Amino acid sequence: MGRFVLVNLWAKKGRSFGITLAVALAVMTVVTLAAVSNGLKNSATQVLEISKSDFTVAQKAAPDILNSTIDSHQLAEIRATRGVASAIGVLLETQDLNAANPLFIEIGIQPGDLRRFGVTMVAGRPYAADASHEVMLGWRAAQNWGLRVGDIFHANGTWNRVVGIYSTGISYGDLGAMFPLPALQAYNRVPGALTLIFVKVTPGDSVAKVAAAVDYNHPELTTIRTASQFGRADRNLVFLGAAATGSTVLAILIGAIIVGNTMLLSLFERTREFGVLRAVGWSRSRLVALVGSEILVLAVAGSMLGIGFSFAAAAVLEILPPLRGVLHSDFTTVGFLRGLYTGIGMAVIGALYPALRAAHLTPLRALTHE
């Protein structure tokens, strides 16, 4: 039957192409959204990975993790929590330096916390705690800007001398710059404010219990131990994930309507053909298998095409001015599978009714169909 299926599809090239394209566009939307969502999530979770902490504390349900606001008193209270070995308060800000760096990451951290935060000096020295106009650049940022120790780096509306080059081992951190905490707070007019607190638990103590204690004592804050808990602090990612799921469902429904409509038209065109097949002894199930196989071939072809399209779509999104340097699409097997089941799902749902109608045509009525 395979050859018959292919011959039928080839015989109606326009219809086959239309269905394939509909599937491809739906799959492209779903896979691209999944890749974008993953990319943004990765970027965000990398913030947490810069430190090698046991858990991170952020403001609960902030629209974006970079908008989390914690004050220094809360840092002191968390440091005093039983089982907490160290708690590092960090201010994270972004600067629009130029078109290529619209969201340059700046980290405000006390020099005494650098080692525990996982920072290794590659060149130069750490800045002084109360220094103004001193900055450390991540080695990737220094490379991108072509700056070395002693050079001047302009940011936050002022000049800053590069006193050191550092590495965190996380590309997100190494693409940014570190400033003395009070200096960055002053530049951004948020004295005493922190974005995140990175907590290390005393060896032997339970991370879960200490995190639970922080959650209990600070209902306005939330603890994050895994990437999956990220949504507690970053509502945008939750919304993005929901949008990705919603778009999958919508793509399946809209695609199914398009496929179903096209298949139904095709059914009317092929009524006589189906009647002949039934008259020469084809069973209903064989006819359903024929229609099902045809749509399955188109669904798989459309899904493959859609996955190909999604690479192009993601590449275009990555170079759009508002997203340049921010969006790094992350294509995962899960994203591809989601695309595949979207394609197959819309095709199967769309073809179900036409296939059943074809199967229930009486051969005599089908043969006399004009």
Partner 1 sequence: MSDDVVDPAPRARPIIECRGVEKVYEDGSVHALRGLDLEVAPGELLAITGPSGCGKSTLLHLLAALDTPTAGSIRVGEYDLARLRRPDHYRREEVGLVFQLHNLMPQLSAVGNVEVVMVGTHRRRRDRAARARELLAAVDLLPLADRRPPQLSGGERQRVAIARALANDPRVLLADEPTGSLDSDSVRTVLGVFERLRDDLGVTVVLVTHDESVARIADRTVEMLDGRVRHPDGEVEAPEVRGPSALPLGR
Q: Is 273 in the site for partner 1 (CB under 8 A)?
A: yes
* DSSP H or E run through 105: strand 104-108
Question: Cβ distance 184 to 93 under 8 Å?
Answer: yes
Q: Is 367 in the site for partner 1 (CB under 8 A)?
A: yes
Where does this chain touch partner 1 (CB under 8 A) — which range of 3-11, 53-61, 104-112, 179-187?
A: 3-11
Among 17, 139, 239, 282, binds partner 1 (CB under 8 A): 282
Question: Cβ distance 61 to 361 under 8 Å?
Answer: no
CB of 16 to partner 1, least distance (A): 12
Which residue lies nearer to partner 1 by CB, 41 or 270?
270
Q: Is 279 in the site for partner 1 (CB under 8 A)?
A: yes
Q: How far apart are CA 37 and CA 243, in angstroms?
A: 9
Would strands 196-201 and 120-124 be described as parallel, antiparallel, or unpaired?
A: unpaired
Token pair in block for residue 369: 């169909």
The number of beta carbons lying within 10 Å of the beta carbon of residue 141 is: 24
Where does this chain touch partner 1 (CB under 8 A) — which range of 42-50, 71-79, 268-276, 335-343?
A: 268-276
For residue 286, list its beta bridge partners. Answer: none
Ramachandran angles phi, psi of 345, nearest 5°: -60, -50
Q: Is 99 in the site for partner 1 (CB under 8 A)?
A: no
Among 41, 218, 278, 338, binds partner 1 (CB under 8 A): 278
Q: Is 13 in the site for partner 1 (CB under 8 A)?
A: no
CB of 275 to partner 1, least distance (A): 8
Question: Cβ distance 9 to 16 under 8 Å?
Answer: yes
Instruction: Identify the burial level of 115 via C-beta atoms within 10 angstroms of its C-beta, where 0-12 means exposed, 13-18 middle and 19 or more buried.
Output: exposed
CB of 308 to partner 1, least distance (A): 28
**Residue 34 Ramachandran class (φ > 0 left, ψ -120 to 50 alpha, else beta):** alpha
Ramachandran angles phi, psi of 317, nearest 5°: -60, -40
Q: Is 286 in the site for partner 1 (CB under 8 A)?
A: yes
Among 277, 297, 352, 358, binds partner 1 (CB under 8 A): 277
Where does this chain touch partner 1 (CB under 8 A) — which range of 85-93, 250-258, 281-289, 346-354?
A: 281-289
Site size for partner 1, by CB under 8 A? 25
CB of 297 to partner 1, least distance (A): 15
Q: Is 283 in the site for partner 1 (CB under 8 A)?
A: yes
Where does this chain touch partner 1 (CB under 8 A) — which range of 131-139, 202-210, 228-236, 282-290?
A: 282-290
Among 99, 100, 146, 280, binds partner 1 (CB under 8 A): 280
Alpha helices per DSSP H over the chain:
2-11, 13-50, 72-79, 114-117, 139-145, 171-174, 181-187, 207-217, 235-269, 271-279, 284-319, 333-359, 363-367
Tell how far CA 312 is from the center of its chain: 16
Nearest to 1 by CA among 370, 285, 315, 323: 285
Among 235, 272, 324, 357, binds partner 1 (CB under 8 A): 272
What angle (nearest 5°) sits at the alpha carbon of residue 95, between those of residues 93 and 101? 125
Identify the three-state secondary structure at position 370. Answer: coil
CB of 332 to partner 1, least distance (A): 40
Q: Is 349 in the site for partner 1 (CB under 8 A)?
A: no
Q: Is 10 in the site for partner 1 (CB under 8 A)?
A: yes
CB of 271 to partner 1, least distance (A): 12
Q: Is 296 in the site for partner 1 (CB under 8 A)?
A: no
CB of 4 to partner 1, least distance (A): 6
Which residue lies nearer to partner 1 by CB, 47 or 297?
297
**Site residues (vs partner 1, CB under 8 A):** 1, 3-4, 7-8, 10-12, 272-273, 275-284, 286, 362-364, 367
